[in-house]
Amino acid sequence: MTTTRADIAASSRSADMGSLAVLFAALLWGTTGTAAHFNQDVSPLATGAFAMGVGGLLQAVIARPNIMGCLGLLMAQKGRVLLGAVCVVIYPLAFYSSMHLAGVAIGTVITIATAPLAAAILERLFGHHRLTLSWYISLALGTAGVVMMAMGETATHGGDIATVSAAGDPIATTVTGSVPDADWQRLGGIVLGIIAGTTYAAYSLIARRMMDHGTHARAAMGSLFGVAGFALIAGLGLSMLVADPRLFATPGNSAVALYMALVPMFLGYIAFGFGLKTVAASKATLLTLFEPLVAALLAVTIVGEHIAPLGWLGMVLIAVCLVIQVKPKTT
């Protein structure tokens, strides 16, 4: 079968739309930090479990016709579905715990920097996707940009080496002294950030592999997130609601919980699944570097935080990284 110029152009347009869909998902995910700012002393685990759990169940509900239509394929790939669902369950728990232990900046940087690297390694081990020079350049620019943003954010806290945890509590002392327990907490947070980034890359790759084997995009994402959502709500979400009823203690907390479940975790992953149809997992995880850029801009404009010049330089590097990845390819 010969490939015509029209086929190439259509494939290019489809890939461009996929990249835009992933960027849109990252934009929605970037709003979670600002939304959580309006929570009043809510456990980050409770927030993460509820948001991902409800968002996952909703994905399964709207994907039900597609899931039933691909039921045979899903049963034939039940190992992938189960493994992907386990990764989806682990990701929010590890990510939010990482921010709680190591601080928001460090936890986010480790997770986001790990994801594209893990995706590239997994694709090389279990697939035949070849990475381009532009991907490596983008990864270097994007990782450097995220690190600079984290350093710029830390610099605005009066020289403290510690950032504020996701629960709003300082986890370490300033540069004048350190607490051994806090050092171990930070190390544990870094390890959890690596786990979060790896599981995020893994379920992205698994979903893409399912699509490559004929599973509809909604069926693939709906099955993974539906199983994971049920586990999070039934196994952990309900216990967190009992242990931490503050999740719905005030109208503001309730609004934040529902927003995070319906917008970033539901609508965001719908867009991400659409993008994965035509975008490799390694590129998709790289495009989600847009998330910390959005989060930082919202923190400045809405929360009133300040970012040092180094942080703004980091934003520029991330922007260059994204431009390289989304620019149209000449044929």
- Please write the tens of the pLDDT for every residue from 90-104: 998 898 888 778 777
Q: Would you say 251 and 85 are in contact if contact means Cβ atoms under 8 Å apart?
A: no
Residue 170 pairs with which residues in a beta bridge?
164
> Looking at residue 158, what is its pLDDT?
46
Q: How far apart are the first and last CA of the chain?
A: 19
- Alpha-carbon gap, residue 285 to 142, rounded angstroms: 11
The per-residue pLDDT for 98 is 85
Please give the pLDDT value at position 153: 64
pLDDT the model gives residue 171: 37
pLDDT at 266 over 50: yes
Which of 57-71, 115-129, 276-290, 311-325 is predicted with the least confidence, judged by mean pLDDT? 115-129
159 Ramachandran zone, left/alpha/beta (phi>0; psi -120 to 50): left
CA distance 48 to 91: 9
Distance separating alpha carbons of residues 48 and 178, to the nearest angstrom = 29
Dump pLDDT digits (tens) for 152-180. 766 555 444 334 334 333 333 333 445 56
According to the model, what pLDDT value does residue 263 have?
Answer: 95
pLDDT in tens, 307-316: 788 888 988 8
Q: Cα separations (Å) of 92 from 46, 151, 155?
A: 10, 24, 27
Q: Check residue 244 and give its pLDDT.
A: 62
More confident residue, 20 or 15: 20
Span of 187-201, 240-254, 264-278 with lowest mean pLDDT: 240-254
Task: Report the range out of 108-122, 128-142, 206-220 with the highest average pLDDT.
Answer: 206-220
Please report which confidence band the pLDDT of residue 298 belongs to, taking 50, 70 and 90 as the band edges. Answer: confident
User: Distance (Å, rounded) from C-alpha 261 to C-alpha 81?
Assistant: 22
pLDDT digits (tens, 9 = 90+) for 57-96: 999 999 999 999 999 999 999 999 999 999 999 998 898 8
The reported pLDDT for the residue numbered 92 is 87
pLDDT, tens digit, 9 for 90 and up, residues 193-220? 899 999 999 999 999 999 999 999 999 9
pLDDT of residue 237: 54
**For 235, which DSSP code?**
I
Mean pLDDT check: name the lowest of 159-163, 184-188, 276-280.
159-163
pTM (2 d.p.): 0.81
pLDDT above 80 for 273: yes
pLDDT recorded at residue 161? 36
The mean pLDDT of the chain is 81
| Non-local CB neighbours of 151 within 8 Å, separated by 6+ positions | 308, 310, 311, 314
* Dist. CA 219–CA 296, nearest whole Å: 33
DSSP string, 128-173: -PPPPHHHHHHHHHHHHHHHHHHHHHHHTTTT-S--B-TTS-B-S-
